[in-house]
């Protein structure tokens, strides 16, 4: 018998059940991932036909520790090709689900993804082909990678925020290839929190300190949240913990992004904490913010042992005063035959020239939105920091892989291109990416 190494169990993450780990080695998480058709209850008592991973939408939570190996056996039981992209993980490009590198997994076929988790943080997974339909129909799930010396909380929760467009009988509405759904991306008519139209509910002790991990997996909904009745601050972004937590009135999460919050239940016993999503809607012919409660927590007495999380020291990559520049102009036009076409630097899709950069050399990435709709810009395989918006300091600290870019806004990002390989970058609104706003950056390995 080899010596049993003592490995602390991972903290339980409430909200979504984890995968069954088939590997007894505590440093290897090995799972079966079935992409198939099934029915789920998005609305209580109603069955919705979906595409799902392992029978649930969102798919099971993939939870492991930084440095662990993950082995995923994907079985495609759909009648169309698919791949899995591990959004935010800085792994090898061969495992990234990029259909320009790996041929998609055909119906009835399987593929094994294997990688080592390089960074702690909150991430997610989804297909990288036919994303307009596959993600909307239910193929998406969250990933939690714990720190080596993870801070301790009274509870950890995963909160996957999504929206979906349902018909009157609670089926996924049909997809249109033109018009508003392409120009702005497909907006849902039902908000989903961990795959349900109902708010999350729980009771919590006064004084409890929790870690919430929020993910926006929607097609095209920029989310704006507030938490009423509890104190909270941002402790982590896409790329993991921050050097310094910060506070805001609202938490804005654009498509693809993640934020971890430290939430302190400092209200009186008997009081309620509400998580409110502020949704833009047309009311009386005017665009207004309408509050939707997506979480409801009752304080039911005192937490016997309030946690005092001990955050590891984090330093972000240095910000140079000068660096090479890459300019990406996000645009689009109306083609009489093809309809709306989206572009980067005037070209569309495969016509866009790849950007080639050497590994480890810092670059300023100037991304300018040259058209009306917002774009949640996403770069695979690397993290970046958001430096400025229209020349003004962005005050959005932390490592990110996704960023909101408003109409006609110019955002300056800093990336060090640490991870060699072929990396897609694109708008995370699938209707934009699949209609042209998607290309690659090739990071050539350092000697
Ligand atoms: Cu979340 Cu290229 O994707
Ligand atoms: Cu876009």
Q: Which residues surround ligand 1 with Cβ inside 6 Å? A: 85, 87, 126, 128, 256, 378, 380, 424, 426, 428
Asked whether residue 170 carries a pLDDT value surpassing 50, the answer given is yes
The ligand placed nearest to the CA atom of residue 220 is: 2
Atom of ligand 1 at shortest range from CA of 433: 2
| Amino acid 425: pLDDT | 98
Provide the residues around ligand 2 (an ion) whose CB is within 5 A: 375, 427, 429, 432
| Amino acid 374: pLDDT | 96
Asked whether residue 6 carries a pLDDT value surpassing 80, the answer given is no
Q: pLDDT (tens digit, 9 = 90+) per residue, 73-114?
A: 999 999 999 999 999 999 999 999 999 999 999 999 999 999
How far, in Å, CA of 312 to CA of 242, rounded? Answer: 9
CA 232 to ligand 2 center in whole angstroms? 30
CB atoms within 10 A of CB 1: 3
Q: pLDDT (tens digit, 9 = 90+) per residue, 103-161?
A: 999 999 999 999 999 999 999 999 999 999 999 999 999 999 999 999 999 999 999 99
Q: pLDDT (tens digit, 9 = 90+) per residue, 171-229?
A: 999 999 889 999 999 999 999 999 999 999 999 999 999 999 999 999 999 999 999 99
Asked whether residue 343 carries a pLDDT value surpassing 50, the answer given is yes
Going by alpha carbons, the residue nearest to atom 1 of ligand 1 is 87
**pTM for the structure as a whole:** 0.97
Q: pLDDT (tens digit, 9 = 90+) per residue, 223-253?
A: 999 999 999 999 999 999 999 999 999 999 9
Asked whether residue 336 carries a pLDDT value surpassing 80, the answer given is yes
| Amino acid 5: pLDDT | 65
| Amino acid 283: pLDDT | 84
CA 423 to ligand 1 center in whole angstroms? 10
The ligand placed nearest to the CA atom of residue 378 is: 1
| Amino acid 443: pLDDT | 98
Alpha-carbon Rg for the chain in angstroms: 21
CA 85 to ligand 1 center in whole angstroms? 7
Asked whether residue 311 carries a pLDDT value surpassing 90, the answer given is yes
Q: What residues contact residue 400 under an 8 Å CB cut-off, 6+ apart?
A: 237, 238, 239, 257, 383, 384, 385, 386
Asked whether residue 399 carries a pLDDT value surpassing 50, the answer given is yes
Q: How confident is the model at residue 1 (pLDDT cuts 50, 70, 90)?
A: very low
Atom of ligand 1 at shortest range from CA of 128: 2
The ligand placed nearest to the CA atom of residue 98 is: 1
304-319: average pLDDT:
96
CA 107 to ligand 2 center in whole angstroms? 29
Closest CA to 128 of 433, 445, 437: 433
CA 83 to ligand 1 center in whole angstroms? 11
Asked whether residue 2 carries a pLDDT value surpassing 70, the answer given is no
Q: Percentage of the chain with pLDDT > 70?
A: 99
Q: Percentage of the chain with pLDDT > 90?
A: 95
Going by alpha carbons, the residue nearest to atom 3 of ligand 1 is 87
Strands ordered across the beta sheet of 286-302? 200-206, 286-302, 272-283, 223-228, 251-253
Q: How confident is the model at residue 3 (pLDDT cuts 50, 70, 90)?
A: low
Closest CA to 183 of 332, 2, 29: 332
CA 127 to ligand 1 center in whole angstroms? 8
């Amino acid at each position: 018998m080899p010596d049993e190494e003592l490995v602390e169990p991972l903290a339980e993450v409430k909200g979504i059940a984890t995968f069954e780990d088939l590997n007894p080695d505590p440093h290897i998480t090995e799972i079966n991932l079935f992409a198939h058709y099934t029915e789920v209850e998005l609305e209580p008592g109603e069955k919705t036909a979906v595409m799902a991973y392992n029978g649930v939408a969102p798919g099971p939570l993939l939870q492991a520790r930084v440095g662990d190996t993950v082995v995923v056996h994907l079985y495609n039981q759909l009648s169309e090709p698919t791949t899995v992209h591990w959004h935010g993980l800085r792994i090898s490009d061969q495992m990234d689900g990029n259909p320009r590198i790996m041929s998609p997994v055909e119906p009835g076929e399987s593929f094994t993804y294997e990688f080592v988790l390089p960074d702690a943080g909150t991430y997610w997974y989804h297909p990288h082909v036919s994303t307009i339909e596959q993600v909307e129909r239910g193929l998406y799930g969250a990933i939690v990678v714990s720190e080596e010396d993870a801070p301790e909380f009274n509870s950890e929760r995963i909160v996957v925020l999504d929206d979906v467009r349902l018909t009157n009988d609670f089926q996924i509405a049909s997809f249109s290839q033109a018009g508003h759904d392409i120009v702005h991306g497909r907006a849902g008519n039902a908000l989903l929190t961990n795959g349900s139209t109902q708010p999350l509910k729980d009771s919590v002790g006064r004084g409890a300190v929790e870690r919430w991990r929020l993910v926006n997996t929607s097609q095209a909904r920029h989310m704006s949240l507030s938490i009423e009745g509890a104190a909270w601050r941002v402790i982590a972004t896409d790329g993991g913990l921050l050097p310094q937590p910060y506070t805001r009135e609202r938490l804005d999460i654009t498509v693809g992004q993640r934020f971890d919050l430290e939430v302190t239940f400092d209200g009186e016993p008997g009081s309620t904490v509400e998580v409110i999503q502020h949704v833009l809607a047309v009311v009386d012919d005017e665009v207004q913010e309408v509050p939707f409660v997506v979480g409801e927590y009752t304080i039911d007495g005192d937490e016997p042992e309030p946690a005092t999380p001990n955050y590891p020291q984090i330093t972000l990559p240095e910000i140079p005063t000068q660096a090479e520049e890459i300019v990406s102009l996000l645009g689009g036009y109306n083609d009489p035959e093809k309809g709306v076409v989206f572009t980067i630097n005037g070209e569309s899709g495969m016509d866009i020239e790849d950007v080639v950069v050497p590994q480890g050399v810092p670059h300023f990435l100037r991304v300018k939105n040259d058209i009306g709709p917002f774009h949640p810009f996403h770069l695979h395989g690397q993290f970046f920091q958001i430096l400025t918006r229209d020349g003004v300091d962005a005050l959005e600290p932390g490592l990110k892989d996704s960023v909101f870019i408003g109409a006609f806004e110019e955002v300056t990002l800093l990336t060090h291109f640490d991870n060699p390989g072929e990396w897609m970058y694109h708008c995370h609104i699938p209707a934009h990416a699949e209609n042209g706003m998607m290309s690659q950056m090739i990071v050539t390995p350092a000697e």
